[in-house]
Structure 1
Amino acid sequence: MPLNLRQMEVFRAVMRTGSITAAARMLNVSQPSVSEILRYAEDRCGFQLFEREKGRLRPTHYADKLIDGVERVFEQVDKVNGTVEELKAERNDVLNIGCTYSLSISLVPKILSDFDLRHPKISPRIIVERRAESVAKINSGLLDGAISFLSDRYSEMEFHTIAEKPLHLICARSHPLAQSDRVSVRDLKDERFIGYLPYLLLQKRIDALFGQHGLSVRPTLEVEQIAQAWQLVQSGRGISIVDSFCNFQVFFPDVVTVEIVGAPKISLELLVKKGKPQSPALKLLIQKLTSISSEL
C-alpha cells in the first residue's frame, strides 16, 4: 500500500533530525503522533525504516533508498506552494496577446495601453505573429489570446467580437476619387489597384465584393501587409481597399479614406482557447474588449 503525503513528511523529518522528539518539534506535533504515523508508514511499506539504537533512530538500508524519492516529492510540493503565493500576490498576471503586424502598429497598442491604465497589476504583452501561428501558440499555452480580423473559423477557438466595420477605399489626396464622400465598386473598375496575395482572406473578400457586381479585380501590385498598401497608395502607385481597424493616416498623411457603397463589414475579434479555464486577467480583458465597439 503506498505512503501518503503525511507519512512521507514524518519519515523525512525523522531522517533529517534522527529522533522522534526532534521530528515532533520540527513538525510542531506531539511525539506520540510521530511515533504512530511512523509505525503506520512501516506497516504500509512492509519493511522497517529505522533501527532503534541508544535513544536515536538509525535509517535502514530501505530508508536510504527511499529518501531521495521523498525529497523529490517535497521539491514539487514546494513549487506548488510557491505558485500559490505568486497567484495570491498577482505576480503572474501577465497577458500574452498575439496580433498581426498591421494591428500591432495601429490599433492594438491603444487598446492594451488603455486596459493597462485601468488595471495596473496586469501586464499585457503584444506578440506579433501571423494568425495561424497565434492559434498554434494559444493551443500550446504560449499565448493567452490573439486579436485578429478576417480569421478562419478554427474549431478549437472561442471568438469574442470586439467591433464590426466595413472595408473602405484608400487613395492619394490628389486622386479624383478623394473628392467623393462615397464611391461604388464600378467607380473602381478602371483604376490601378493595389491588392493582396491571393491566399489572404482580405483579398478573397475584395474579390467577392467585385464579383457581386459582375466585375473582377486584377491587381497591378500585390502585397502581404496592409501597411504596405498604404505606403504604395501614398506614393501614387494606385488605389487599394483596406479594413477600418488598421488606420495608418498618422504615418501616411497624404492618403484619404472613402466609403464604398455596399462594402461588407468585417469583425475584429479576440481569439481564446475554447474550453480552457480563463484567468481573472483574461476575463477582464474580454470584458473590456467586448464593450469598446463605439470607441473604435
Structure 2
Amino acid sequence: MEMRRARVRFKLRQMEAFRAVMLTGSMNGAARLLFVSQPAVSRLIAHAEQSLGLRLFERDKGKLTPTAEAQRLFEEVGQLFDEALRIDELARDLAERPEGELKLCSSPSLALNFLPPVIARYVNEHPRVRLKYHTTLLSDMAHELLGRKVELAVSVLPIDNPNLVVEPFATGHMVCILPQGHALARQDSVGLAELARNRLVLYSRNIPFGQLVAAAFQRANVPWRATVDIVRAELACALVRSGVGVAIVDEFSVAGGGWPGIEVRPLREPIPLALSLVRSRFERPGRQAQRFVKLLKEHAQRRAAAVQ
C-alpha cells in the first residue's frame, strides 16, 4: 500500500521569511536579510497566513505587530533553525575535520589556569578534531553528560550520581588569597582564625565549595562571618585585589601567577580537593576523549612532580 506524504502547510521557505520579519521587524528588513525583494517576502508571509489559517501580523500604517500566535510560532521556528545550523555545522565538520569532535566541559575554576595548557597541546597534536569546550556548575554536570551535550567533564570535586563514572586523577587544596602587602602575607601559611579577624570573601554555603569551607571553619571552631558571598573564584580574586578583604579559593584558580596584586598562602587547616574525570555510565569514551584524558593525566603528573 502506497503511503501518502504528509502535506506540510508551513513551508520551510515561508518559515525563513517569517523568521526574518520577526528578527528585523519589517518586510523591507527581512528582504535585505534574505537578499530577496520586499514583494517576495510579502507574498511568502501572505501565503503562510493563508495556508495556516492564522494571522501572523497586525498591519497598521505600514507597521507590523506580531500576533500572540506569531510569538509562539517564532519560538518553535527559532529552535528549528538552531537545529538546522547545528546540522550544517556537523556536515561542514565531517568534510573539514574527518577525525571528529570532542565535547568537553569543566568546573569554572579549572578553565582559568589548569586546563588551558592541556587544551593547547591537544589542539596542536590533533588539528583536524573540533573541540567544543565550556564551563558548567557542578550541579549541572550530570545533566550535560547524561543528556549527551558533552562526552567528558573535568570536575574540581567528585560528583555523587549512580549513572556517572567518576575517576579521581589529581589532588589539590583550598588556599587563602591576600592583597599584596597584607600583614598575613609575611607568613608561610595562614590559619582560619587569623583570616577570620579580617573581612572575609567566601564561597556561598549553598554551593559545594562553600560547604567544604564552612565545614573546615566548624572543625576549627572559628565563626563564619562572610562580608561578601561569591560563587566564582575570579570574583574573589578581583575583590581581594581591590582591597575588599581576604578570601579562600581553590588552588587551581590562582596557579601560575595569573592574578598580579594578590598573595597566595596555604591554609594550616587543610581543605583537600580531588579533581575527577566524569563521564556517563551508558557511553563508552570515544577515541578523542581517550586521547584528551591521556594528555590531561600527563599534565596532572607533571604538575604534581613540580610542587613536590
Shift of 1:195: 0.8
Cα shift readout 1:81-110 (whole Å, capped 9, x = no counterpart): xx9xx99x9725211111233333332222
What corresponds to 1:207 in structure 2?
Answer: 214
Shift of 1:294: 3.0
What corresponds to 1:235 in structure 2?
Answer: 242
Structure 1 residue corresponding to 2:233, chosen from 191, 206, 226: 226
Shift of 1:243: 0.6
Structure 1 residue corresponding to 2:272, chosen from 249, 262, 265: 265
- Verify the 8 A CA contact 1:160 1:286 in the aligned structure 2: no
Structure 1 ranges of 4+ moved more than 4 A: 248-251
Q: So what's the TM-score if we normalise by structure 1?
A: 0.66
What corresponds to 2:185 in structure 1?
Answer: 178
What corresponds to 2:153 in structure 1?
Answer: 146
Structure 1 residue corresponding to 2:141, chosen from 134, 141, 156: 134
Distance 1:280 1:176, change over 3 A: same
The CA distance in 2 between the partners of 1:228 and 1:249, in whole Å, is 17
Cα shift readout 1:7-49 (whole Å, capped 9, x = no counterpart): xxxxxxxxxxxxxxxxxxxxxxxxxxxxxxxxxxxxxxxxxxx
Shift of 1:221: 0.6
What corresponds to 1:195 in structure 2?
Answer: 202
What corresponds to 1:24 in structure 2?
Answer: none
The CA distance in 1 between the partners of 2:240 and 2:256, in whole Å, is 11
SS at match of 1:171: strand
- Verify the 8 A CA contact 1:168 1:258 in the aligned structure 2: yes
**Which of structures 1 and 2 has the bigger CA Rg?**
1
- Verify the 8 A CA contact 1:230 1:248 in the aligned structure 2: no
- Letter paired with 2:138: R
Structure 2: segments with no counterpart, 5+ residues? 6-89, 304-308
Shift of 1:291: 3.2
Q: Does residue 290 of the first structure (1) align with residue 297 of the second (2)?
A: yes
The CA distance in 2 between the partners of 1:191 and 1:250, in whole Å, is 23
Count of residues in correspondence between the two structures:
217
Q: So what's the TM-score if we normalise by structure 2?
A: 0.63
Distance 1:241 1:108, change over 3 A: same
What corresponds to 2:288 in structure 1?
Answer: 281
- Verify the 8 A CA contact 2:176 2:247 in the aligned structure 1: yes
Distance 1:281 1:212, change over 3 A: same
Shift of 1:149: 1.0
- Verify the 8 A CA contact 1:161 1:270 in the aligned structure 2: yes
The CA distance in 2 between the partners of 1:189 and 1:132, in whole Å, is 29
SS at match of 2:169: strand
The CA distance in 2 between the partners of 1:236 and 1:249, in whole Å, is 21
SS at match of 1:276: coil
Structure 1: segments with no counterpart, 5+ residues? 1-61, 69-82
Q: For structure 1, which segment, 199-208 or 227-236, has the greater mean C-alpha deviation from structure 2 after superposition?
A: 199-208
Q: How many percent identity over aligned positions?
A: 18
- Verify the 8 A CA contact 1:99 1:147 in the aligned structure 2: yes
- Verify the 8 A CA contact 2:155 2:278 in the aligned structure 1: yes
Superposed counterparts of 1:1-296, under 5 Å: 65=2, 91=98, 93-247=100-254, 250-296=257-303
- Verify the 8 A CA contact 2:200 2:246 in the aligned structure 1: yes
Cα shift readout 1:232-251 (whole Å, capped 9, x = no counterpart): 10011111111111127755
SS at match of 2:161: coil
Distance 1:202 1:184, change over 3 A: same
The CA distance in 1 between the partners of 2:296 and 2:152, in whole Å, is 12
- Verify the 8 A CA contact 1:162 1:292 in the aligned structure 2: no
Shift of 1:275: 3.6
Cα shift readout 1:51-104 (whole Å, capped 9, x = no counterpart): xxxxxxxxxxx6xx2899xxxxxxxxxxxxxx9xx99x9725211111233333
Q: CA RMSD in A?
A: 2.6
- Verify the 8 A CA contact 1:160 1:290 in the aligned structure 2: no
